[in-house]
Amino acid sequence: MSDDVILETAASWHVRQGADDMDWLAFEAWLEADPRHRGAFDDVAMLDFDIDHHRDRLRQVQSSIAPVDRAQRWWRPLLLASGAVAAVGVVTVVARQPDSSEPRATGIASSYQATATSRDVRVAGAGITLAPGSGIKVHDDDAPRIALTGRAVFAVRHDPARTLTVRAAGYAIRDVGTRFEVVAGAGTIRVRVAEGELAIHAVAADHGEVRVRAGQMATGLADGTITMAASTTAALDGWRNGPLVYDAMPLGLVIADVARATGRPVRADSAVAQRPFSGVLAQGDSAAMIDTLATLAGLEARRRGETIYLGDRVRR
């Protein structure tokens, strides 16, 4: 085998290793076949490590996604709404900047918070199950608006006269009569639809509305891009009594979820926040949850003050 062929084969093995159907025995046989194979694989693995190490720097100039100015993205909904601010209530603020002063809102506003256990709420014509540590603010009138922080399952009956909007992490979800789950955190959102159909768009970006139908899930990243995939997990609120199941969920969102479930301050390093994670975490002891997540995702947990940061293993 020429060195080029060895390098290409090493790279193929490397990119496949995250897949559940990776053939580890065939990989082992390939490593054993020639000592040069191991060296080539090490080279590719080191290169991959270096790319991750420089990811933020490279991303600034190489990203395939047109970046949206954070500040602009933040303020634009407020500016556009201008006169209507008071009436509309612009609840986006809640998810993105919890410490900001809230715009004054008219209509009936109420908030609900789930603490250590999940909580069922019936409000604005919708049945809502809040995951531990999650909360909603509700403006209930002809066009009810719900601002979500955290994770919740919604069951909404279709009513053409009253369209419900859910806002979280800079995204707006317009309901068309459906059962769906929203997980929001760290500027990122994951929406899974079990029944019916809904529409989602980034509040500040001009990417347009995306329709999500039963059996689909949409992931919205902090820059306003939305990707779609088939939803492979069945129950929407399986986390109620069981483990948290993640299917290619951005790590920032997974970590925000763990922080809520455990009540511990856990955060994702920005370099890993958008990296997808698939796996299952048992709910329970916070140290065990964080450790399991770190091991499964190949990350390292570091403590700074009270906060635990999960990031790539430090290069020394």
Partner 1 sequence: MTALDPATTTSGLSQLYRDLRSDLLRFLVARLGDPGEAEEVVQDLYLRIHALAEGPVANGRAYLYRAAQNLAFDKVRERRRRLTREGQWVGLHHPSSPGTEPIDRRADAETMMVDREEATALFAAIATLPPGAGRVFRLHKLDGVPHADIAHQLGISRSGVEKHLAVAMAHLRRAMIDR
Extract the tokens encoding 272: 């890993």
* Nearer to partner 1 among residue 15 and residue 80 (C-beta): 15
Contacts of 235 (CB under 8 A, 6+ apart): none
Contact 218, 191 (CB under 8 A): yes
Residue among 143, 108, 146 at smallest CA distance from 130: 146
* Nearer to partner 1 among residue 199 and residue 271 (C-beta): 271
- Locus of tokens 């763990």: 258
- Spatial distance between the Cα atoms of 200 and 90, rounded to a whole number of angstroms: 16
Extract the tokens encoding 34: 């020639």
CB of 27 to partner 1, least distance (A): 8
CB of 17 to partner 1, least distance (A): 6
CB of 71 to partner 1, least distance (A): 21
Identify the bridge partners of residue 211 per DSSP, sorted by sequence position.
Answer: 199
CB of 315 to partner 1, least distance (A): 8
* Nearer to partner 1 among residue 92 and residue 274 (C-beta): 274
- Spatial distance between the Cα atoms of 201 and 218, rounded to a whole number of angstroms: 10
Extract the tokens encoding 90: 């612009």
* Nearer to partner 1 among residue 77 and residue 220 (C-beta): 220
CB of 260 to partner 1, least distance (A): 17
CB of 76 to partner 1, least distance (A): 22
Q: How far is CA 77 from CA 47, 74, 91, 93, 155, in A?
A: 41, 7, 10, 10, 27
Residue among 83, 82, 103, 84 at smallest CA distance from 92: 103
Residue among 105, 157, 111 at smallest CA distance from 130: 111
* Nearer to partner 1 among residue 113 and residue 292 (C-beta): 292
* Nearer to partner 1 among residue 80 and residue 235 (C-beta): 235
CB of 90 to partner 1, least distance (A): 28
* Nearer to partner 1 among residue 49 and residue 75 (C-beta): 49
